[in-house]
Amino acid sequence: MRSSVLLASAVYGSLSAMTTALSTPECCSALAKDLPKNVFTSDSKAWDTHNKDFWCRCVFLPETSEHVSKAVQILAENDCKFSIKGAGHSAIPGAANIHDGVMIAMAWMNSTDIQDDYIRVGAGAHLGEVYKALDPHNKAAVVGRFSEVGLGMVVGAGISFFSNSEGLAIDNVVNFEVVIASGEVINANATSNPDQLWALKGGNNNFGVVTQYSLATINTAGMLHGGVITYPESSFDEYAYDGATNETTAGILVAYNDAVDELPEIMQPWLKVNYTTNTLGKKTYGELAEELNGRFAGDGFVQEQRVFTVYADAQFYKDVWFKFRQWFQDYRDIPGFQGSHGNMPITPRQVEEGVKKGGNALGLQEGPQDKTLGIIYFGVTFQDPKDADKVLPAHKEFVESMRKLAEDRGVLHPYIMLTFSGYDQPAIASYGEKNVAKLHEVSAMYDPKGVFQRLVPGGQKLPARK
């Protein structure tokens, strides 16, 4: 397979040298000439459905990997800029859409195919579709916890209901079917193109267009005991502690992965704290993912996320929460404003599972192996883009001040989780110089002309090579 990849790349390089870049309308016309039923412009309903945020020139909706292959060949040979949209959940501007370019929207490639120990999923599927396909079979995949999120999180990191027992979502991909820069459709797995497999585990959209994911499945009881508990601020001292645990069946606060009628003893303290609401009960994974999704603000809002990582420290968690609450007050009168802050633990067991399953690009295994990490998340959502100049710089400044506080206290870890990062945060650089250098090597091997660096500008890109 490697020789065929290099040959295809060499052919692509010779073609690129002889072509002239087309204008964006010409790029759309070139696609429509070969695939007329899959290209949509501003006078079509499909264009409006998949182009809500800001305006690409045309939307390309492939139905097969061969369609994607043809599109990548046309776009690469003519230096056409494009974006790749799965579910479009990323809050980074340009990650899924592109101004005055071509959007490859994977929505029509959303099939699921259940095998004995894995499920094949089209790149356009939402996670809710994955859970609902597997629930009747008493199986689940190690993917995110919100039904409307897409499979793009699987090339970023991915925290799931099963993280403690199975590792991150990226560690549970059996195979990526991916279209590389030459237009060739390859499989990346443990035995075929394993370097591409490693790079896609954290490498985002820098290595090709993933058209299908084969995700390892695990057996479940069919139901779990889960839901959402909300607490008043007066209860903070009782629940603000290091909640990470190496118990493999516990997803703290949200889910206990067994079909029990009530939480086990290890999690009962959550119910002894004074709470405001409690939706805990027996339900399927798909039902819980749908319930959690209902907490999103919905489409059409402005959103930004920022994140950093610390070594678990209960006092730091508490201090950050109270500082966030103080900061939040200045923006409560902005229409549609919501502020979010959370701490998502990554335990040593999770990191160990990633190593056992072939490793990934994140670099987490390079640090101390006996310390729990906390992913410190912040998000803001509001209704009117006119308020962006007031909210977004202040949000960035606040998060950076909390990051500096972590650094001053000696608890800061370098990792920046890509799936929750801000557009200007160096997520991939945080993987460490060794892993970044290896990512560049893989990129040069499969994409020698830098198609996915030059022509796909949105999202988190590889940092400049040193």
Domains identified in the chain and CATH numbers: 24-105 (3.30.43.10), 112-221 (3.30.465.10), 224-428 (3.40.462.20)
Helix (H, G, I), strand (E, B) or coil at 241: coil
Query: Are the C-beta atoms of 455 and 447 separated by less than 8 Å?
Result: no
Query: Are the C-beta atoms of 5 and 186 separated by less than 8 Å?
Result: yes
For residue 203, what is the DSSP state?
A: -
| % of the chain beyond a pLDDT of 70 | 84
User: What pTM, to 2 d.p., does this model score?
Assistant: 0.88
Query: Are the C-beta atoms of 356 and 338 separated by less than 8 Å?
Result: no
Query: Are the C-beta atoms of 461 and 452 separated by less than 8 Å?
Result: no
Mean pLDDT (whole number) for 167-184: 97
For residue range 91-113, list pLDDT tens digits in order: 888 888 898 899 999 999 999 99
Partners of 329 in beta bridges: none
d(CA 406, CA 374): 11
Residue 67: predicted pLDDT: 98
Mean pLDDT (whole number) for 331-352: 91
Q: 292-296, 340-344, 365-369: which has the minimum mean pLDDT?
A: 292-296
d(CA 203, CA 166): 20
Is the pLDDT at 12 greater than 50? The verdict is: no
Mean pLDDT (whole number) for 309-320: 94
When comparing pLDDT for 276 and 384, which is higher?
384
With cut-offs at 50, 70 and 90, classify the pLDDT of residue 131: very high
**Six token digits for residue 275:** 């709470």
Is the pLDDT at 20 greater than 80? The verdict is: no
- Dihedral sign of CA atoms 179, 182, 187, 191 in order: negative
Residue 281: predicted pLDDT: 86
Helix (H, G, I), strand (E, B) or coil at 173: strand
Partners of 213 in beta bridges: 121, 176
Mean pLDDT (whole number) for 379-407: 96
d(CA 107, CA 122): 9
